[in-house]
Structures are given as C-alpha cells and as structure tokens.
C-alpha cells in the first residue's frame, strides 16, 4: 500500500492508495504551466486525479500536488475524447496509457 492524499473538488482532502490507480494519460498540466503530470483513475472514489510535479529548483527539489479533475479538463488539457474517457473509467484494466511527453 502506498497511501497518498488528493484535493477533492468539494474542497476536502481525501486519501487513496497509489497502488490501486490506473494510469490514463501522461503529459503536462493544464493547471500549472511547465509542470509534468500523470492523470490516473481512482476506482474507490470513482474520480480522475491529476498528479503533478513542478520543475526542479536549483537544489533539485520539486513540489508535488494531487487534485481531482473532471473529464472536461482531461479533454481540454490532454485531448482525450468523451468515448476514450468513458472507456478508461468503465474498463481501466484494459486501458493503455497515453503518453504525450
């Protein structure tokens, strides 16, 4: 088990297990310019979460964030269509990661 937290859309912080998520798309965040990101599907809460990291500073440190995102955000930021997002949610074990980096 790899416990972690994410900021939910309702303003609360929720816990989830990183070992139980499905990778959907890797690229660059649409919310934080220049940050790398990985959008995952978390089936326990039935949500998509954007895991993002800032560029490293001069000492090599970076900031990490995890935030619930909507399908519309995924479509606008990563170019996945409604059909693809629905397929990722309905059959996450069959989904293949889309790598945009």
* Beta carbons of 68 and 9 less than 8 angstroms apart: yes
Q: Is residue 40 part of a domain?
A: yes
Number of domains in the chain: 1
Give 53-93 as a DSSP string. EPPP-TTS---EEEEEE-HHHHHHHH---HHHHHHHHH-GG
Q: How far apart are CA 65 and CA 83, in angstroms?
A: 27
Q: What is the pLDDT of residues 36-55, one digit of tens each?
A: 999 999 999 999 999 999 99
70-96 pLDDT, tens digit per residue, is: 999 999 999 999 999 999 999 999 999
If 0-12 CB within 10 Å is exposed, 13-18 middle and 19+ buried, where does residue 65 land?
middle
Structural domain of 44:
21-99
Which pTM was predicted?
0.95
Residue 69 included in any domain: yes
């Amino acid at each position: 088990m790899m416990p972690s937290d994410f900021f939910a859309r309702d303003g609360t912080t929720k816990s989830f297990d990183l070992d139980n998520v499905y990778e959907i798309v890797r690229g660059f965040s649409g919310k934080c310019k220049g940050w790398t990101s990985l959008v995952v599907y978390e089936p326990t809460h039935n949500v998509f979460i954007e895991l993002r990291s800032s560029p490293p500073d001069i000492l090599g440190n970076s900031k990490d964030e995890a935030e619930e995102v909507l399908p519309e955000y995924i479509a606008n930021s990563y170019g996945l269509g409604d059909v693809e997002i629905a397929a990722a949610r309905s059959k996450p074990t069959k989904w293949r990661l889309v790598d945009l980096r």
